Amino acid sequence: AKIGVIGLGYVGLPLALEIVNKGFQVIGFDKNDEKIDLLKNGQSYIADMLETNIQEAIHKERFEPTDNFAKLAEVNVIIICVPTPTAEDGTPNITYIVDAAHAIEQNMSADTLIILESTTYPGTTEDVVRPILEKREAVIGQDIFLAYSPERVDPGNRNFTVTNTPKVVGGISKSCVEVARIFYETVINTNVYAVKSPKVAEMEKLLENTFRQINIALVNELSQLCYKMDIDVWEVIDAASTKPYGFMPFTPGPGVGGHCIPVDPKYLLWAGQQHGITATLIETADKINESMPNFVVERLAHYLITQGKDLHEAEIVVIGVSYKPNINDFRESPALDVINILRENHCNLKIVDPFLESVTTDECTMHTVLLTKELILRADAVLILTNHSNINYSLIDEHAALIFDTRNTHYLFKNQNYYKL
């Protein structure tokens, strides 16, 4: 059997190579021919993806990256992992899914299993993808099979990979679910949890990630209240975590980044609005999370004043810009918002992030620098926004005039001017 993966990004590329590792032939489809060229040259554009994996897969002719969608005729299974961005006003943009569905309809062979994995609003598989595929008198459940299964890739997570993370699957018909189950259980050899329809699977994905967004907002708001009441919010969360049931700890931070947690809840909010459910909880959570960059800068300004310094034109070393530790993805990272606010205050910034060569905000591109003793001594403050494991925290602890740690980094700082969110 030959497997096709459409969309070679953070989800599709690791999935494609995981399937190659299971011994299957994979054709990887992407409209971006730069990505195709990089992959053909054995180069990776994803931190998690080792170039050796790509080179070996290509060398053994088990992985064929292409932008030629006619080759969809050669595969028996097609997994759609294309991006599903939302517009500024939160309206879902599923054009990549629609384009993929049309490409499949125009090229697919009979007996093909099509699985949509992209996060989207409930109803996309049944009301958008299905009619496109049925154009050519193909009968879903007989000639072709259509299912939805949310991706659960967690970038950088070594413990949970695509093979040991259960897969929720919703099919158009029982036969669609069974064909999808066979695929996931034999090719990915993970557990499959079948649900009654694609809508249930689409909705459960939104529950998973909105649950995170709202609980992160809860501890973020709590951090603002605890600051006012001079209570250590981290101590509060640790204490609450002693409850062995019914509680799950989340940590405050400079905001919520990545391409899942800030985005996926917008689909739930939009679906709610289409059905007269105002879903204000999601909007409020978004506002709280988006208020954190300003909260961080206000606190930094306050600590600088206690040192007799002004935030205006201050020398700040920023530690960590990617949206979560130990990965090189800074999309939607709240650190970018903090950097923008500091620049508005004419601060002189030095950006330290071992995972990034440079950081591009909507205004400018800044190159990252090495963390040195001189850099720390010259700074008025060191601001930790992402606590990568490979930062030399003891160097910071020893030489920094002021440290503001927004992540409660596990390093035990002794510096007398160490503050945490």
Site residues for ligand SAJ per CB under 6 A: 151-155, 157, 208-209, 212, 216, 250-251, 253, 256-258, 260-261, 323-324
- Residue in 81, 260, 347, 364 annotated catalytic: 260
Residue 330 CB, shortest distance to ligand SAJ, in Å, is: 10
Structure token pair of residue 86: 């939302």
DSSP 108: P
Cα–Cα distance for residue pair 42/268, rounded to 1 Å: 38
Between 164 and 307, CB nearer to ligand SAJ: 164
**Which residue's CB atom is positioned nearest to ligand SAJ?**
258
Residue-wise burial string across 349-371, b where 16 or more C-beta atoms lie within 10 A, e elsewhere: bbbbbbbbeebebeeeebebeeb
Between 76 and 326, CB nearer to ligand SAJ: 326
3-state secondary structure of 224: helix
Between 48 and 380, CB nearer to ligand SAJ: 48
Cα–Cα distance for residue pair 61/54, rounded to 1 Å: 10
CB distance 236 to 247 below 8 Å: no
Check if 260 is active-site.
yes
Residue 264 CB, shortest distance to ligand SAJ, in Å, is: 7
Outline where DSSP puts E strands in 238-370: 315-319, 348-352, 358-360, 365-367
Give the full edge-to-edge strand order of the sheet including 418-420.
Answer: 348-352, 315-319, 381-384, 403-405, 418-420
Between 122 and 258, CB nearer to ligand SAJ: 258
Between 153 and 271, CB nearer to ligand SAJ: 153
CB distance 234 to 418 below 8 Å: no
CB distance 184 to 192 below 8 Å: yes
What is the maximum alpha-carbon separation in the chain?
75
Residue 393 CB, shortest distance to ligand SAJ, in Å, is: 18
Residue 132 CB, shortest distance to ligand SAJ, in Å, is: 25
CB distance 54 to 43 below 8 Å: yes
Between 264 and 380, CB nearer to ligand SAJ: 264
3-state secondary structure of 364: coil
3-state secondary structure of 255: coil
Active-site residues: which are they?
260
